[in-house]
């Protein structure tokens, strides 16, 4: 889908009533978004467990505390990546320590670290959009629609940078059952094939999540919308390569709660 299609959808979608799927009637970019999920940072998470190629990932997050380069590391998502350190893979905030310094956001694949680093910038406690994209020769990190990845380093092995397969996908914890994220997370989506750079930037949409249906995410968890903001199942709105529902529902584990705070 092109960026122009997103713009068209926004024009059509505003003010429409919601369908049972949570999508604005008439389709398009506007999205009825009433819920996010609040993780307390002690032991709760969303278990998905599915496998993908990490082409592109998009989510919104609202940390409980400001993120600096000295913040304790927290995993917004965790997955099993590659190499003997695969269990430590994921996307984290704060000081991960290792191949780069002054990390604010880090994608760790198991063999490579890709990071947004700064000794002076911070990420505040407002809602932020985060996207990861495989750009063909490198992973890119987008924060609020801006490509911010500015450092990388090889942790183990001698493999070249590559788009990696991931498995055992979880939200709000690392797969060694550690580094639990404290804060809100909303609209998590993943694509095995990367979006274009322009489509990835457009996901930010001036701070308001847009309808991803036309971008055909392979996994899309709306964090309460489509599920009435209750229960422990987060229904996967993604589609497989054939266009059929992916069906990889998330399972809210150890008591995360729904919140009415959403990016807006």
Partner 1 sequence: MSRKYCIIDSSDVENVNFDQVLETSADTLRFSTDGSLTTVKYEGAKPRFLYGKDTYTHSQILEILAGSDWTPSE
Q: Which residues bind partner 1 (CB under 8 A)?
A: 40-44, 72, 88, 97-98, 177-180, 182, 232, 253-255
Query: Which residue's CB is nearer to partner 1, number 205 or number 249?
Result: 249
Q: Least CB distance from residue 72 to partner 1, whole Å?
A: 6
Query: Which residue's CB is nearer to partner 1, number 204 or number 258?
Result: 258
Report phi then psi at 216, rounded to 5.
50, 60
Q: Least CB distance from residue 41 to partner 1, whole Å?
A: 6
Query: Which residue's CB is nearer to partner 1, number 97 or number 146?
Result: 97
* Burial call 67-79: b when 16+ CB within 10 Å, e when fewer: bbbebebbbbbbb
Q: Least CB distance from residue 250 to partner 1, whole Å?
A: 13
C-alpha of 238 from chain center? 14
Strands 103-108 and 250-253: unpaired
Query: Which residue's CB is nearer to partner 1, number 41 or number 209?
Result: 41
Q: Which residues contact 258 (CB under 8 A, 6 or more apart)?
A: 35, 36, 37, 38, 223, 224, 229, 230
Q: Least CB distance from residue 149 to partner 1, whole Å?
A: 22
């Amino acid at each position: 889908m092109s960026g122009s299609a997103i713009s068209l959808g926004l024009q059509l979608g505003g003010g429409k009533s919601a369908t049972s799927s949570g999508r604005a009637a008439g389709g398009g970019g506007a999205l009825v978004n009433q819920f996010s999920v609040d993780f307390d940072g002690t032991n709760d998470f969303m278990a998905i467990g599915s496998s993908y190629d990490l082409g592109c990932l998009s989510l919104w997050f609202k940390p409980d505390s400001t993120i600096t380069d000295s913040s304790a590391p927290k995993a917004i998502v965790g997955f099993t990546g590659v190499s003997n350190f695969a269990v430590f893979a994921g996307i984290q905030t704060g000081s991960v320590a290792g191949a780069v310094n002054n990390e604010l956001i880090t994608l760790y694949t198991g063999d490579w670290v890709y990071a947004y680093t700064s000794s002076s910038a911070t990420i505040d406690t407002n809602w932020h959009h985060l996207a990861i994209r495989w750009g063909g020769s490198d992973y890119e990190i987008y924060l609020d629609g801006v490509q911010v990845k500015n450092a990388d380093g090889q942790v183990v092995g001698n493999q070249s940078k590559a788009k990696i397969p991931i498995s055992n996908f979880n939200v709000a914890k690392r797969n060694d059952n550690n580094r639990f994220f404290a804060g809100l997370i909303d609209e998590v989506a993943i694509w095995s094939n990367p979006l274009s750079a322009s489509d990835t930037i457009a996901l930010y949409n001036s701070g308001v999540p847009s309808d991803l249906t036309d971008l055909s995410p392979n996994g899309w968890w709306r964090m309460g919308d489509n599920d009435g903001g209750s229960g422990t199942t987060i229904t996967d709105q993604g589609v497989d390569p054939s266009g059929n529902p992916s069906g990889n529902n998330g399972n809210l584990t150890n008591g995360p709660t729904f919140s009415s705070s959403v990016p807006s």
